[in-house]
Structure 1
Amino acid sequence: MEQGREKRYDVLDGLRGVAAISVMLTHFSQNTPHSLFKHADLAVDLFFMLSGFVLMHSYRNKLLLGLSAREYIRKRIIRLYPMFAISMAIGIPALLAVAAAGLSNYPLRSIIAATLNNLLFMPYLGDHGTANMVSAAAQLPVEKYTVGEIFPANPSAWSLFFEMVASVALLVLIRLQRRDLIKVIVGSAILLFATGVLLGVENKGAIPVFFGAGWGTRNFFAGFIRVAYGFTMGVLIYSLHENRTPLKFGKAISVVLRNDIVLYLLFAVATAFPFGIKGLFPMAVIFFVAPLMVYRGADIEPSGQFSAKLAHFLGWMSYPVYCLHFPIGRLVFLYFPDSEQHPTQAIALAVALTVAVSIIATKLIEEPVRAYLTRKFASRKRVNLKTEPVV
């Protein structure tokens, strides 16, 4: 999570890995009788906060000391795009297979248009739908399709678009005073709550306050508010951490979150919590729990050698797992015999394939490609890819 001899935030790496796993499991279990990690969409808000923290740590001083905006954006594209491209190489055939099985109402021309948009890292604002994580034999009615995914071939990639938007915003945020950062956070928090209420009304009150915006055409623009709050909060948390600013309840937080394992378990429990409490639970996590976890996680060291290795592995795996799990899961559930009758086996296979493909793709394709692109376009210096910021 750092470069050179800068401080490593191993526990934040591990936390990001736990969050990515929760997202994977909730997607794989979304059409089963017992959905896992009901609130895993909160992981995206955590990702945005971690992104603000990590990019401040990795690039703030470099940008202030002369790293050009062009060079910085180039580095961010090189970091994010290769694995995204691998995911699209799997996701495009998977979407075509789902459409051929009659589980999508995307016409071919729309798939082509969406693909061209997405390959340019841009959203596709359409109104077609797809049945996700179901078998080819399923007879799912159209009204149960997921409609308007802005990255149809890899729906999870929607947050990567907003990551790039936030990366550009960092060029401005690094020059703001703390009081101005707080103003941005408060303003975006108010807007996030207001849009959550409006989206709840649109959902006919099923979820009175809906915070899971950004992934689809109908809630796309709310994604800018969501990332504005999360990313700027991460920037502020880094500022507080760097200046060793004590929090009012800092001692109590350190007692509750006493080590890395407790931190991981708490976030896993938060995402697995089965009740939304009329939107109050996700609101509490977004506005209070997640920021405190990032703040505390930055101060915690791994509790042992094994914990350090686990944190490093979870962090290293987090981005490929997040990128690759959805298209791989689509294919597994599409072709797994009786995936509706045997969802546990299908989930286990999808998880195993995701992990295996993530390791192979990272080692054999993504890291060599990034090394080449970095040498060619981003820097003449040798770069340790394992320490490049992942979010």
Structure 2
Amino acid sequence: MELVREKRYEVLDGLRGVAAIGVMLMHYSENTGHRLFTHADIAVDLFFILSGFVLMHSYRSKLLLGLSAREYVKKRIIRLYPMFAISMAIGIPALIAAALIGLANYPLRSIIVASLDNLLFLPYLGDHGVANMVSTAAHLPVEKYTVGEIFPANPSAWSLFFEMVASIALLVLIRLQRRDLIKLIIVSAILLFGTGVLLGVENKNAIPVFFGAGWGTRNFFAGFIRVAYGFSMGVLIYSLHETQTPLKFGKVLSVIVRSDIALYLLFAIAIAFPFGIKGLYPMAVIFFVAPLMVYCGANLQPTGRVGARLAHFLGWLSYPIYCLHSPIGRLVFMYFPGSEHRPGQAIALSVALTIAISVIATRLLEEPVRAYLTRKFSSRKRAGLKAEPVV
């Protein structure tokens, strides 16, 4: 009997890769005075929307037809954890090095506790600080440290915790009627805006509405609202796509976005936009532009063989780049000679090393480990099927 291959949304894979690269460049340039992709934190909201869409596509039918919750969660852990573990193997020594040279005020005991929590995929709710992407010669004052990162050895991994929470929530979301799903999205959107206003009042930079919550101790609980909105929106978009329900605004965007390359460029421009307009700009992207991009991207095909290869490569690299870039960049900026005076060179070296290590780690470590764990712990054979998408 011939096995049926699942449809793969290749353009959405490519879009995820563009988003991951934008996040990497934003973090690498955050302390250089010339920040790149200013609004790349919006990419995390795109990741959550994509997760809802792709997990619905990959697992809805299987869960409704008998795949157990235990088996499903096991598959999600196997998919997410190996690369995360690799990132922690780099990130823990990097955090210790930062503390030893005075670029972090974490005592050794706190590093141990935080690392153990994080290795269990749990957040560490501490109040210590670290200087990210800074040279040993920069002498950054303690008051400018990033305080309270819930994954201090790998700051970007905060969203992976919420990704696992959302993955478990899918077990309930797949059984909701569309009207109930819409109610959930409306409520979470209102709460997201409300917490954004409250966090904006507290924010020292006086941003009226702050949507970048979830990464730190002080805004940790708002992360649940952020992922609830994004993930449930992705679930709804998949439902609309599956039933071929037309969207008026979707038609408008589809006139502008006629190809995969146009979609990638539009999102790159969206996260590179230099003005926040008092929080209104990220709000517009999160609530309108990003969902419509996913809706339109699901209906696009790669432009020829080159477009398909580009989409595959970007999607394949997106998760390792996202996982590995923070600890790698932290090490490069700490020890690259003169990185405070030549930030462009430090950024270029960090990007090159991140891509190279991502390729090597994925090929030689992550993929073999995932294949082994799948053979050992999965109760169903996957031969002949495409690998589960990274979400």
TM-score between both structures, scaled by the size of structure 2? 0.98
Give the secondary structure class of the aligned counterpart of 1:341: coil
Taking only the aligned residue pairs, the percentage that are identical comes to 81
Aligned partner of 1:366 in structure 2 is: 366
Give the secondary structure class of the aligned counterpart of 1:92: helix
Q: Does 1:34 align with 2:21?
A: no
Give the secondary structure class of the aligned counterpart of 1:276: coil
Contact 1:371 1:383 in 2 (8 A): no
Q: Does 1:91 align with 2:108?
A: no
Aligned partner of 2:238 in structure 1 is: 238
Distance 2:225 2:109 in 1: 31
Distance 1:261 1:139 in 2: 42
Residues 390/7 of structure 1: CA separation in 2 closer, same or farther (3 Å cut): same
Report the residue type matching 1:257 in the other structure.
V
Distance 1:257 1:244 in 2: 18
Cα deviation 1:73-92 (Å, max 9, x = unaligned):
00000000000000000000
Residues 194/346 of structure 1: CA separation in 2 closer, same or farther (3 Å cut): same
Q: Does 1:321 align with 2:328?
A: no
**Structure 1 unmatched runs, 5+:** none
Residues 382/177 of structure 1: CA separation in 2 closer, same or farther (3 Å cut): closer
How far 1:333 moved relative to its partner? 0.4
Report the residue type matching 1:264 in the other structure.
Y
Contact 1:12 1:50 in 2 (8 A): yes
Cα deviation 1:209-257 (Å, max 9, x = unaligned):
0000000000000000000000000000000000000112333221111
Residues 4/321 of structure 1: CA separation in 2 closer, same or farther (3 Å cut): farther
Aligned partner of 2:212 in structure 1 is: 212
How far 1:205 moved relative to its partner? 5.8
1:93-172 equivalent positions in 2, closer than 5 A: 93-172=93-172
How far 1:384 moved relative to its partner? 6.4
Report the residue type matching 1:296 in the other structure.
C
Aligned partner of 2:350 in structure 1 is: 350
How far 1:383 moved relative to its partner? 4.7
Distance 1:260 1:386 in 2: 21
Report the residue type matching 1:326 in the other structure.
S
Contact 2:5 2:386 in 1 (8 A): no
Q: Does 1:256 align with 2:256?
A: yes
Give the secondary structure class of the aligned counterpart of 1:299: coil
1:75-90 equivalent positions in 2, closer than 5 A: 75-90=75-90
Aligned partner of 2:312 in structure 1 is: 312
Contact 1:15 1:263 in 2 (8 A): yes
Give the secondary structure class of the aligned counterpart of 2:278: helix
Distance 1:46 1:245 in 2: 21
Aligned partner of 1:174 in structure 2 is: 174
Aligned partner of 1:294 in structure 2 is: 294
Which of 299-308 and 220-229 deviates more?
299-308
Distance 1:163 1:294 in 2: 18
How far 1:382 moved relative to its partner? 3.6
Distance 1:117 1:48 in 2: 23
Contact 1:14 1:313 in 2 (8 A): yes
Cα deviation 1:309-363 (Å, max 9, x = unaligned):
0000000000000000000000000000010100011000000000000000000
Give the secondary structure class of the aligned counterpart of 2:247: coil
How far 1:385 moved relative to its partner? 8.3
Distance 1:134 1:122 in 2: 27
Q: Does 1:69 align with 2:69?
A: yes
Report the residue type matching 2:49 in the other structure.
M
Distance 2:387 2:375 in 1: 16
Aligned partner of 2:183 in structure 1 is: 183
Distance 1:387 1:82 in 2: 15
Which of 187-196 and 204-213 deviates more?
204-213
Contact 1:52 1:233 in 2 (8 A): yes
Contact 2:250 2:295 in 1 (8 A): no
Distance 2:287 2:66 in 1: 34
Report the residue type matching 2:325 in the other structure.
H
Q: CA RMSD in A?
A: 1.1
Report the residue type matching 1:117 in the other structure.
D
Aligned pairs, number: 389
Cα deviation 1:84-143 (Å, max 9, x = unaligned):
000000000000011111011100000000000000000000000000101112211100
Contact 1:316 1:386 in 2 (8 A): no
Residues 73/279 of structure 1: CA separation in 2 closer, same or farther (3 Å cut): same
Residues 382/61 of structure 1: CA separation in 2 closer, same or farther (3 Å cut): closer
Contact 2:118 2:151 in 1 (8 A): yes
Q: Does 1:51 align with 2:55?
A: no
